[in-house]
Amino acid sequence: MADAALKTTPLNALHVSLGGKMVPFAGYAMPVNYPLGVLKEHLHTRTHAGLFDVSHMGQAELTGEDVVGAMESLIPGELRALAPGRIRYSTLLTESGGIIDDLMITKPAESGAEKKLFLIVNAACKDADFDHIARRLAGRVKITRFEDRALLALQGPSAAAVLGRFVACCTEMPFMSSRMAKFALPSGHDVEVRLFRSGYTGEDGYEISIPGDRAEAVAKALLAQGEVQPIGLGARDSLRLEAGLCLYGSDIDTTTTPVEANLTWIIGKRRKLEGGFPGAAKIIEQLNTGTAKLRVGIQPGGKAPARAHTEILDESGKKIGEITSGGFGPSVNKPVAMGYVEAAFAAPGTKVQLMVRGQALPAEVAALPFAPHRYFKAK
Residues 52-74: pLDDT tens digits? 999 999 999 999 999 999 999 99
Strand order in the sheet with 58-63: 87-93, 99-106, 116-121, 58-63, 142-145
Confirm if 227 and 47 have CB atoms less than 8 A apart: no
Alpha helices in the chain (DSSP H): 12-17, 38-47, 67-72, 126-136, 159-164, 215-223, 233-242, 269-274, 280-289
The structure's pTM equals 0.96
How many angstroms separate the CA atoms of 217 and 210, rounded?
10
pLDDT digits (tens, 9 = 90+) for 70-121: 999 999 999 999 999 999 999 999 999 999 999 999 999 999 999 999 999 9
The CATH 2.40.30.110 portion of the chain extends over 292-366
Predicted local distance difference test score (pLDDT) of residue 76: 98
The CATH 3.30.1360.120 portion of the chain extends over 1-289
How many angstroms separate the CA atoms of 141 and 143, rounded?
6
Q: What is the mean pLDDT of the chain?
A: 97
How is residue 266 annotated by DSSP? Answer: G
The CATH architecture one would assign to domain 292-366 is Beta Barrel (2.40)
For residue 56, which amino acid is it?
A: H
Predicted local distance difference test score (pLDDT) of residue 378: 75
1-289 falls under which CATH superfamily? Probable tRNA modification gtpase trme; domain 1 (3.30.1360.120)
